[in-house]
Amino acid sequence: MKRSVYEPEYHFFSGKGGVGKTSIASATALWFAERGKKTLLISTDPAHSLSDAFRKKIGGNIKKIGKNLYAVEIDPKKAVKEYKEKFAPEIEKIEFLKGFGMDETFDIMGTAPGIDEIASFDKFLQFMNSLEYEVIIFDTAPTGHALRFLSLPDILDSWIGKMIKMRMKFSAVVSMVKRILPFGTSEEEIDLRAEHLDEIKSRIEKARKILSDPKRTSYNIVMIPEAMSIYESERSIKVLKEYGIPVKNIIVNQILPENNKCSFCRSRSAQQKKRLKTIRKKFKNYKILEVRLFKEEVHGKKMLKQLAKELYG
């Protein structure tokens, strides 16, 4: 049986913990799947919230969880381990990259905050090449540290890039001589040659092209009507703008319903109304979707369908 080949569209959901982005990403995936789109939902949340959202164990391999709907939970620790195994032996050979201000981009020791984001982003690059799905939804989107990778093709095209490639060619020769000469290293050495960097560059260029294409990529900021969440969302949009990634929707979640009988509820609701006024003013250039706070937790397909209906009608 011949497999269908698609040019997938990508939907990212970004936001601080506790704003409900997993529920919203899950509801969106279900919404697409019910409209006949073959959909893959990917999460990099170490708490495995997708399993909670669908009340079904999902795990680290792609699993069918409904008609047209597939999901996978990437384990960040495992992703970091795989990432280091893949790149560390090569990048350790080119420590001189650090001299070009690329410490954060090539932090192979995993000491800088965000190595898990970069490893997850590397996973995203792998999934991006999949032509099996019409829609790919990413819960917990790559943020600032990971997005720095998108500037790598520019660095490799610059005069610095030419110097790096010259140095690598030289390193390859030295490495070869070391293996030929007696008393050389007995263990097999891995060399990062110029063509390896070209391969990384082309993958990232492809990712950058897709991420900056509003016809194929929709970036959604999920927030709640609170001061810290507004600030965090502004910061995220600024970072995304730097990399030419278009934000489509601002999703304001957990809006309290009117309740005049409860003084605490009235006070909280009044505060939220002020924040909503600020949000509508600050983010007036974006589509703002407002979602009420549900009486019960959003778990299971029934509740996710209700949430999708509230979001998309």
Structure tokens at 151: 């500037």
Which CATH number goes with the domain that contains 269? 3.40.50.300
Across 90-185, where does the E strand assignment appear? Answer: 135-139
Split at pLDDT 50, 70, 90, the class of 161 is low
Task: Point out the least confidently predicted range of 52-56, 70-74, 102-106.
Answer: 102-106
Residue 287: per-residue pLDDT: 95
Please check whether residue 77 lies inside any domain of the structure: yes
Structural contact between residues 116 and 142, judged by C-beta atoms closer than 8 angstroms: no
What's the rounded mean pLDDT across residues 128-156?
75
Q: What is the C-alpha to C-alpha distance for residues 140 and 279, in angstroms, rounded to an integer?
A: 22
Residue 128: per-residue pLDDT: 77
Please check whether residue 99 lies inside any domain of the structure: yes
Q: How many domains does the chain have?
A: 1
What's the rounded mean pLDDT across residues 240-261?
89
pLDDT higher than 80, residue 210: yes
Burial state string for 263-282 with b = 16 or more CB within 10 A and e = fewer than 16: eeeeeebeebeebeeebeee
Give residue 249's domain range.
Answer: 9-152+209-312
Please check whether residue 189 lies inside any domain of the structure: no
Please check whether residue 50 lies inside any domain of the structure: yes
Please check whether residue 104 lies inside any domain of the structure: yes
Please check whether residue 44 lies inside any domain of the structure: yes
Q: What is the C-alpha to C-alpha distance for residues 163 and 159, in angstroms, rounded to an integer?
A: 6
pLDDT higher than 50, residue 54: yes
Q: What is the C-alpha to C-alpha distance for residues 187 and 88, in angstroms, rounded to an integer?
A: 16
Please check whether residue 184 lies inside any domain of the structure: no
pTM attached to this predicted model:
0.79
264-301: pLDDT as tens digits: 888 999 999 999 999 999 999 999 999 999 988 899 99
